[in-house]
Structure 1
Amino acid sequence: MKLIKLEQPSCHPCQLVSNYLKEKEIEFEAIDVTQRPEIAAEYGVMGVPVTILLDERGTEAKRSIGFKPDELDELIFKMENY
């Protein structure tokens, strides 16, 4: 399983999500949607931050929109217990 986070550099909630995941020592790939708009379009992302858990085939398993620690914890739990 892989965690990706779609973000913008100037987005405060995006920074909160990154800090939260780093504090939990969770590896994730941060994707700047201003540099990679095609990825935002691929996942249907209209606003950031969006954190997406991908399964081993790269298919979306679950997502969290915004900075919601409870939802992020669900993603982490699912990722660690897959």
Structure 2
Amino acid sequence: MVINIFTKENCMPCKATKRWLNEHGFKFNELSIPEYADILRESGHLSAPVVSITFEDGKEEIFSGGFNPTRLKELLIESELG
């Protein structure tokens, strides 16, 4: 599984998302929103952080709109439990 988080400086929801992932033992790649702003905007993501998860089977989930521990748990913990 590959987890990418697009973040910006001084973003409290970004920090909370990274903290949640660290606390639950998930490794992730942090990418700067300013470097990917055009791509993110074109795909409809207008708020930070943007979380992209690519699973082993190639399925991808992308969501944005602030810190969302419920969605993270659903996608990362519950999917692992099967």
Instruction: Note whether the superposition's TM-score is higher than 0.5.
Output: yes
Partner of 1:72: helix, strand, or coil?
helix
Aligned counterpart, 1:24: 24
Aligned residue identity for 2:28: F
Q: Which runs of 4+ in 1 moved over 6 A?
A: none
- CA separation of 1:36 and 1:58: change in aligned 2, threshold 3 A: farther
- CA separation of 1:56 and 1:41: change in aligned 2, threshold 3 A: farther
Unaligned 5+ residue runs, structure 2?
none
Unaligned 5+ residue runs, structure 1?
none
Deviation at 1:36, TM superposition (A): 2.7
Provide the aligned length of Structure 1 versus Structure 2. Answer: 81
Partner of 1:35: helix, strand, or coil?
helix
Partner of 2:35: helix, strand, or coil?
coil
Aligned counterpart, 2:68: 68
Q: Name the Cα RMSD after superposition.
A: 2.5
The structure with the largest alpha-carbon Rg is: 2
TM-score, normalised via structure 1 length: 0.74
Distance of 2:10 and 2:3 partners within structure 1: 21
Please say which of residues 54-63 and 64-73 is displaced more in the overlay.
Answer: 54-63
Preserved contact between residue 62 and residue 75 of structure 1 (Cα < 8 Å): no
Aligned counterpart, 2:9: 9
More helix by share: 2
